[in-house]
């Protein structure tokens, strides 16, 4: 019998007012129920906002170093529960165990980082042009921040929103994705155990149409930070900006790796395969396109196919290289794109089949997939797939490769593999992406530098992580003191 988990509102674990629940199952084995969670509605979301609104002033008045102490203690509590959180993440989302452990460690590190940064929040002193005048700024929290997070990084993304929001002195209402709410619950328990005051963080599970929409439109919410699909993000933006809330959106990607004529093919194949097939391709920064100089094209295709075919697809707790899709609908979407690519005339070099025999019988597994002979205008070269599918596109020149890389609606992450210093520096200038890598995977982020996209990948308002993460959750006053 699976455990039933509750919402966390005003410092109390409580049932939803609906008395309804939903099951969360293991994508590696749908007969394994991870837990039963509250199917909350607008009334539950409103109670969470009321609790945060009541708690915000006291938390804002708490000295930054004390807020930081609670965040550092949260980091320690999560570190103590790392194995538990790792297993929970694998079972609900499908990552491999090393991938899940790395994500949990990222959350641990984020809370430790912002625990230290909390003491630095304050403002700046400037020289006035007038005599006998002090001129300075004061950074203050916004008030109540609503955080709406996706299933694909179910603890790292909540961490990189929660930690700066709390460090800056905001109270929070938080809706995790219904496909992966359990590891987020563990994080909230760590915050509670660390001594966070009642009402400062409120965790509510349930459908976005009820909980997320209420958060986005509620008059007592001052800021909304959302990560997810572009379609849902557009809706959140429209709802939240009707009363001029501050909004931060990070959404999809169609991320390229450009392989130039000077590149080492084996290195390029490793970089492309790692970015395309890691985390089952279920990352907004995953490599979706390899744009390869025609002189290396055939050799690259052979090399990346070899890597795809060498990967073990299995339960993330069983030593797999690639885990399952998170849900049947996500799996069906990937399989549909495989069909689309074949119909469009691309060559299916390897993969693309659902695995259904033996240990794969009860999970959402698909083989890592490589298409060659892909034209830039094909749907598999234009649309986000969110699965382990790599489209390999030929290019005759560096300029053509960059033109193809930029000719999509998204602009999140991009990489170039080259041994030419001029090309590497030119790419940084030329590519339309918020994250640019040279001789590295499109996936993988440092926690102390800004993260965000361009074009349809982002609202292009505020970046996340590092000092930029704090900027979103604070507002400045400028103070003139004559004496």
Catalytic residues: 250
Torsion, Cα 334 340 346 347, to 10 degrees, reads 60
- DSSP element (H, E) containing 473: none
Mark 421-434 as b/e (b = at least 16 C-beta within 10 Å).
eebbebbeebbbbb
Quote helix, strand, coil % in the chain, to nearest 5.
40, 25, 35
The DSSP line for 62-87 is S-HHHHHHHHHHHHHHHHHTHHHHHH
CA–CA dist 230, 247 (Å, integer):
14
Q: Do residues 182 and 34 make contact, with C-beta atoms less than 8 angstroms apart? A: yes
CA–CA dist 43, 9 (Å, integer):
12
The DSSP line for 385-450 is --SSEEEEEEESSHHHHHHHHHSSSEESEEEEE-S-HHHHHHHHHH---SEEEESS-S----TTS-
Mark 92-115 as b/e (b = at least 16 C-beta within 10 Å).
bbbbbbebbbebbbbbbbbbbbbb
Alpha-carbon distances of 303 from 217, 271, 300, 352, 392, rounded to whole Å: 50, 11, 5, 18, 12
Burial zone of 14 (CB within 10 Å; 0-12 exposed, 13-18 middle, 19+ buried): middle
């Amino acid at each position: 019998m699976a455990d039933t988990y509750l919402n966390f509102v005003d410092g109390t674990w409580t049932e939803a007012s609906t008395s309804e629940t939903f099951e969360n199952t293991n994508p590696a084995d749908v007969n394994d129920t991870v837990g039963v969670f509250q199917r909350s509605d607008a009334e539950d979301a409103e109670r969470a906002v009321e609790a945060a609104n009541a708690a915000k002033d006291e938390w804002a008045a708490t000295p930054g170093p004390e807020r930081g102490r609670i965040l550092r203690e949260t980091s320690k509590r999560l570190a103590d529960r790392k194995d538990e959180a790792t297993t929970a993440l694998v079972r609900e989302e499908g990552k491999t165990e090393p991938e899940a452990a790395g994500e949990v460690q990222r959350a641990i590190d984020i809370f430790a980082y912002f625990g230290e940064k909390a003491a630095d929040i304050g403002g700046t002193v400037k020289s006035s042009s007038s005599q006998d005048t002090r001129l300075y700024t004061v950074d203050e929290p916004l008030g109540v921040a609503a955080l709406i997070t996706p299933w694909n990084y179910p603890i790292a993304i909540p961490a990189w929103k929660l930690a700066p929001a709390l460090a800056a002195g905001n109270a929070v209402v938080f809706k995790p994705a219904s496909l992966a709410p359990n590891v987020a619950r563990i994080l909230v328990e760590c915050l509670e155990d660390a001594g966070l005051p009642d009402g400062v963080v409120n965790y509510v599970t349930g459908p976005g149409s009820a909980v997320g929409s209420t958060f986005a439109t509620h008059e007592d919410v001052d800021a909304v930070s959302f990560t997810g699909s572009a379609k849902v993000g557009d809706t959140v933006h429209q709802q939240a900006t009707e009363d001029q809330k501050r909004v931060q959106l990070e959404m999809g990607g169609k991320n390229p790796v450009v392989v130039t004529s000077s590149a080492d093919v084996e290195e390029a194949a490793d970089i492309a395969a790692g970015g395309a097939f890691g985390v089952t391709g279920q990352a907004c920064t995953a490599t979706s396109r390899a744009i390869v100089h025609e002189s290396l094209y055939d050799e690259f295709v052979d090399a990346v196919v070899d890597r795809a075919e060498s990967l073990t697809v299995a339960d993330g707790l069983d030593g797999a290289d690639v885990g399952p899709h998170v849900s049947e609908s996500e799996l069906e979407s990937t399989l549909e794109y495989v069909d689309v690519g074949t119909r469009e005339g691309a060559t299916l070099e390897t993969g693309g089949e659902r695995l259904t025999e033996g240990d794969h019988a009860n999970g959402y597994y698909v083989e890592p997939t490589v298409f060659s002979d892909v034209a830039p205008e094909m749907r598999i070269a234009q649309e986000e797939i969110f699965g382990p599918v790599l489209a390999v596109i030929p290019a005759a020149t560096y300029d053509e490769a960059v033109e193809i890389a930029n000719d999509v609606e998204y602009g999140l992450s991009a990489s170039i593999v080259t041994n030419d210093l001029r090309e590497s520096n030119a790419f940084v200038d030329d590519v339309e992406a918020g994250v640019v890598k040279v001789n590295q995977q499109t996936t993988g982020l440092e926690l102390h530098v800004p993260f965000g996209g361009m074009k349809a990948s982002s609202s292009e308002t505020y970046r996340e992580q590092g000092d930029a993460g704090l900027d979103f959750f604070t507002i400045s006053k400028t103070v003139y003191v004559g004496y």
